[in-house]
Each structure stands twice: as C-alpha cells, then as structure tokens.
Structure 1
Amino acid sequence: MSSPSRAVDQAKHALRARLREMRLAAHLTGRDLANLAGWHSSKVSRIEHGRQTPSEHDITIWCRHCGAEDQAGDLVASLRTIDEMYVEWRRMQRTGLQRLQKAAIPLYERTSRFRIYEPSLIPGLFQTADYALSLMRAVVTFREIPDDTAEAVKVRMQRQQVLTSGGRRCAVILEEAALRTRIGDTEVMAGQLGHLLAVATRSNISLGIIPIRDRAMWPTNGFWIFDEERVLVETLSAELTVTQPHEIALYAKAFAQFAELAVYGPAARTLIASAIAALDM
C-alpha cells in the first residue's frame, strides 16, 4: 500500500488532472481560462502543476467557465477529502490526548460495522485501562505534549461501550506480534491478554490472529474501516483519512486477504494463551 503522504500526493495529482482535462475539453488555453475568471495569467498553470492549491471557489469558477458546472460538487468534495486526509498528530495532540479521544466518539457511534487490522498493538476498543494508560504515557513522552493520560483513558474506556449497544459488529484481525509486543509490565500484559480472551467470546465480535509463521502479505500500517464511510490509518507523524470509495474498497480487499490468513476460535485462543505463558520467560 502507498504511504499516507504518497496517497495524499496521488489524490492531489488526480484532482489537478481532472481540472486540466476539463479545460482542454472546453478548448481553452490556460491564459483563456485565467482571463475569463479574472485571475492572474499564471494562476491556471500554477494550479495544474501543483504550485498552488485551488480553493473551493476556484474550482466552482473553473467548472463554470469550462461548461462543466455539474462536476463542481464532486470536485469540491474531492478537495475537502484531500484536506481531511492528512492531519499532523502534533496539531491534533497539542493539548493532550483527551480531546483526540473525544473527537472520535461521533464516528464510533454512527458506525455499525468495524473492521480493524492491527499488526503490533491491541486496538483501543479492546484495551484494558492499564494497557491504554501505559501506551498513552509512552505517546505523551515521545511527543512531548501535555500529560492528560488519566482523563484520556477514561474517555477511551467509555468509548468501548459502543460495542455493547446498537447491534454493532466488529471484526478484528491481529498479527501474532500484537500479542507479544510488551506494553507496560508483565502484569499489564497478562491482564490485557486475559481481557482479549474474554471479549472475543462476545457474539458480535470476530477475532482472528495471523500466526507469525503464516505471514504471506507485505507489512502495512494498521487501519480501521468504519462501515463504508471511511478508513483511518495511523502513522508515526499523522493520521490518514480515506473517504474515496475506490480507496476504501482497496482497504476492504486487504482486510479480506488478512482475514483468510488468520486463525479463529480455539486456534486463536491457543496463540493468546501461548503469549500469556511467554510472559513468565
């Protein structure tokens, strides 16, 4: 899969290409379009070559003068998607982690089907308070942001209630490495893995684990699919939001392939029990 920054660049390129194709279909030169729009003569060239990002108003005017007003709404939506796609963690976390946890609640509450893939961590919806606290403290230290971890953990625990109401379903695929990545001390990990065993018995939750020996796909970042609405991908520096249907379909395809590699039921529980036993080594 593309890196988040590359995905954003590709989306920007696609938008510029559509604008250029529209201008050419209208048999307008860049200077012609600029004159019609009342812009500086070089503005069209700057937009088409990525040296200037068009505003929503620019796109509306562009479509009007190219005789394609019916496409303006779709292109403006594409621009908004690009704006959403790449959000720097430092900006999102500048006041700590609690605000970030609260901001996600509406998305969780309107989602009826979660599909989650995590290669190295237990997902937030299945974390114990101690595991979440250890993880968030590490994030706070690394990012040098205000420490509101206790409050953020409370919000994360409250957010988990979405899985006990509204008939929501959740399919989770973990790499075996997620069971063995030490977050906190031995007691924290033992409690977390025991909790994972318990929540996996719920009828609305499907837990699959990809054994290390069966890894057949290339490594990728963890991602969450919220219905067919969007995909969130967390990286070291940013959160990528994917809303284009064809890109969501790509992540859904990857999730389906990961699901085929995973083991379930007794086999998954055996892997978790093995990880718990390894904590004493």
Structure 2
Amino acid sequence: MSNPARQAREFLGLRLRDLRLNAQLTGRALAASAGWHFTKISKIEHGVVNASESDLQIWCELCRANDQLPDLLATARSIDTMFLEWRRQLRSGLRRRQEESIQFEAETTMFRVFEPLLIPGLIQTADYATSILTTFAQFHGLRDVEGGVASRLERQRILYSGDHKFHVVMCQAALTLGIVETEVLAGQLDRLLALCGLPRIHLGIIPARARHQYLPVHGFWILDTREVRLETVTAEIKLTQPKEIAAFAKAFGLLANSAVYGREARTIITDSLTSLSEGGS
C-alpha cells in the first residue's frame, strides 16, 4: 500500500496527464518538445518520481496551461513534507517537537483551530497537557513527557504577546470527555473561563445537540492562509495546496457558524464544570 506522499505524487501525475491530453500531446511529443527522455513523462504521470518546479513550468508552458502553475507548484512543494510519521518526527523527543511548534506559531498571525474532542494544546493547563502527552508518549514508546509539557507551556506565551489572534472552535464533547481525571478537567474548564476574557481569543463551543453545519470528523489548525496541520494516530500532515487550504477554511467557517460565543459559551463551560463537581458524567 502506498503512503500519502506517494498517493499525492500519483494525484499530481494524473493532473499533469490531463493537462497533456487536453493539449492533445502524446507523451513522446511532450518529452521531445521539453528535451527530456520519453520515459520521464510516464514516471511523472504515474507518481514514480516527483516533478521539479522547472518540470512543472515547462509542462504548463508546453500544454498551454500556465494558469494551473501556481496550484501545481504548491502541490509539488508540499509532497515531501506533508506526511511526517511520528516515529521519525519524535526521534529527538517530545520537547524538541514542541519547540519546533514555537517557530511556526511565531510566524503566524491568525490561528483558526478546530478540535472536536480535545482542548487545543495552546490553551491547555499543565495538568491537562501532562495527562494528554503521557497517553501519547506511552502509545509511541516515548519518555520525555516533562520536557514536552514544559515546551508546550512555553508555546503559550504567544497568547499574550505579539499581534496574534486565535479563533478556537470546540465541540461540547471536549468539555466532558473522560480522557483525563475529573480534577484535571475541572482545572482545565476554569482555565477556559479565564481565557474567554482575552480579546485576542475568540472561543466558540458547538453545543452537543446544535445543528452542525459541517461534520466534525477530526481536528485541524489553519495557520494564516499558508498551511493546514492535522494529526492522525501515526503522523502529522501538513497541507499547503491553495485548494486544500480553501476547503479547510470553508469547513472551519461552517463549524464556527455552528458554535456559540461569549455568554452562551461561558454558560456551557460553567454547566460542564458544575456537572463535574456534582459527580455528573
């Protein structure tokens, strides 16, 4: 089974093949015009090799499809970095992974964050972060939990400095899910109530029985308009193709429109906190 990076090359190859066919060029004709060996066309179109930026520029020019070049370039640039397996990314430990986040977050002005089941890392308490990272570390056979937590908390300085803004949307389930101890979750909900007062944080909660305008299938982060990040069990995925970013932005907009804010959001958080103190589920 091919991995996502290979699948992305194959998808790019199919798009290039369509451009060639629309231009009514055979593979040999395109290769001859470009000055390439004829087998290069087949290798690119079948995802065996990744097309270079120069290859894409020539391809689009010869196929009279220069309007497609920016999107194709973005796709090609993302292929080798879009799929980062945790086992490779975490070789240097959890602390190093969190420190890398500090850099790309510092370069971001507008954060759009959606999480259906977890409190996002940038607004977690130390105890909540410790619990989440411990579960993650045990699953992946890691040890550096304390270092990871320390770096995650250091990341949160961005909430109070610079010209950063945060639009965070969570499903109500994130306020009640039994993935941390009750007292840890209670402390986390207190923290959310405090953060509601920060003008740079726009916090929305989607009530459990609200009409969701889009499916909350997984969490994702949109960093300005340049990149989307999401996590799976085995990997972190980075998307930079404009069409993909636009699709996630559309999904975020629909989910954000499903949420409540301000007093209504605080009421949901307070009610969840009350249920915890009363021993509710």
Give the alignment's TM-score, normalised by structure 2.
0.85
**What is the RMSD of the two structures over their aligned residues, measured on CA atoms?**
2.8
SS of 2:209's equivalent in the other structure is helix
1:253 aligns with 2:250: yes
Aligned to 1:203: 199
Percent sequence identity is 43
Q: Which runs of 5+ in 2 are unaligned?
A: none
Distance 1:218 1:61, change over 3 A: closer
Q: Which moved more, 1:65-74 or 1:268-277?
A: 65-74
Task: Say if 1:65 and 1:177 are closer, same or farther in 2 by CA, change over 3 A.
Answer: closer
Match of 1:187 in 2: 183
Q: Residues 13-64 of structure 1, C-alpha deviation per residue, up to 9 Å, x if partnerless? A: 452134324544676532445566453x5442232133x1235278269639
How far apart in 2 are the matches of 1:212 and 1:71?
44
Corresponding residue pairs, total: 273
Matching residue of 1:161: 157
- How far apart, in 1, do the equivalents of 2:268 and 2:60 lie? 60
After TM superposition, give the deviation of residue 105 of structure 1 in Å.
1.4
1:204 Cα deviation from its structure 2 partner: 1.0
> Quick check: 57-66 or 209-218, which moved more?
57-66
1:210-221 map, 5 Å: 210-216=206-212, 217-221=214-218
Contact 1:133 1:153 in 2 (8 A): yes
Counterpart of 2:224 in structure 1: which amino acid? Answer: D
C-alpha contact 2:128 2:184 (8 A) present in aligned 1: yes
- Give the Cα separation in 2 of the matches to 1:69 and 1:257: 33
- Give 2:17's aligned residue: 20
Distance, in Å, in 2 between the alignment partners of 1:179 and 1:69 is: 49
Q: Is the 8 A contact 1:33 1:62 kept in 2?
A: no
Match of 2:137 in 1: 140
Cα distance change on mapping 1:247 and 1:65 into 2, 3 Å: closer
Distance 1:221 1:8 in 2: 23
The letter of the residue matching 2:182 is T
Distance of 1:46 and 1:7 partners within structure 2: 15
Quick one: which amino acid aligns to residue 202 of structure 2? S
- Helix, strand or coil: the match of 2:41? helix
Query: Do the aligned partners of residues 58 and 115 (structure 1) sit closer, same or farther apart at CA in structure 2, a change above 3 Å counting?
Result: closer
Over 3 Å counting, the alpha-carbon distance change for 1:197 and 1:7 in structure 2 is farther
Q: Counterpart in 2 of 1:78?
A: 75
The corresponding residue for 1:117 is 114
Residue identity in the other structure for 1:88: E
The question of 1:175 aligning with 2:171 is answered: yes
How far did 1:103 drift?
A: 1.0
CA contact (8 A) 2:126 2:153 kept: yes
1:103 aligns with 2:103: no
Q: TM-score, normalising length from structure 1?
A: 0.85
CA contact (8 A) 2:211 2:258 kept: yes
* Partner AA of 1:95 in structure 2: S
The alignment status of 1:54 with 2:58, answered yes or no, reads no
From 240, 244, 251, the equivalent of 1:243 is: 240
